[in-house]
Structure 1
Amino acid sequence: VDKGAHAPVVKQLQGGLNMMSKFAKTPVAGGAESRLKLDGVMGPKTRHSMRDTLSKDGFGRFDEALSLGQFRDFAERSRAGGSGINLGKEIEGSFANLFRAPKLGGPKIESSVLQETLNRFGSERPNYTPLKVDGDIGPKTSDTFDLFNKSLGPDKLTGGLGKMFGFFG
């Protein structure tokens, strides 16, 4: 199957729609039992889920799904390579457009929310030293991201991030 040049974006969209279906109080069409394959093909199930999300919840919800899918895709790739080195760039690239014009600068809300999310996961572990929530993605944040990405997986990590952003209710 020729997936075309849009396959990576479609795969990210599929991942984000799955996140919305799994974690949202008002799941997307079909619920958890209709998880989309992350194959990058804009098939009938993907189109239906996308249309349903747009018609029920509007572009904002669609943008949230796409942002989650984009970050989930990074987490999956990072998990395989173990490199959160581009974490600051990726978190900003995935979510900044939801909160501000990225090129204009300003507080990096998305980076602070990531640090809060990691601290929330860390609070469930003994001897965890919380990260400073300052919006700066440095080596400590990247190392903590890598640790939790490997132990929790991209879905749970990104789902926790979506919850902290308030995307799920």
Structure 2
Amino acid sequence: MKVTKGKLNGVFILEPTIHGDDRGYFLESYNKKTFNSLTGLDVDFVQDNQSRSRKGALRGLHFQKGEHAQAKLVRVLSGRVLDVFVDIRPESETFGQWEAHELSSENQKQIFVPRGFAHGFATLSDSVDFFYKCDNYYNKESEGGIFYADKDLDIDWQLDDISPIISEKDLALPTFKSFKEEITN
């Protein structure tokens, strides 16, 4: 497995070794010892989540607050997405910056997104099966989010001429400026 650091503090891009032959392929998607050794982290994943989305679906930007914050190891099982994450840790040198990577069933890349990030993705293929591990349990009362089309963040979701399909809940999320004001008060 190849592991490289992302642009933002604490982010890692993981590329598994793929063993292919005329039958197909095999890869080890996760091994705690290998992950810990290559990242220098000791993460204990406790929950796996999976979603299916159709082309143009945009989910995010979501996070869990306080003691329920979650680190995630995200990947695509089938299809293709633009995976986006924003550093929302006020003490971080990369606070307010975002990073994006294309994840697909072809490239098999995974992204480790540490606690203190808002996360989302846009579906670029006809459909996608998205899978992620979390190091903390989901808690409804600790949900948070930032509006996907925030003008200050200016994220290019690479949906081109496709109108994104967004939940009512995600359309009502606050701006990054509102989020910053909330955490400083």
More strand by share: 2
More helix by share: 1
The alignment's TM-score, normalised by the length of structure 1, stands at 0.27
The alignment's TM-score, normalised by the length of structure 2, stands at 0.25
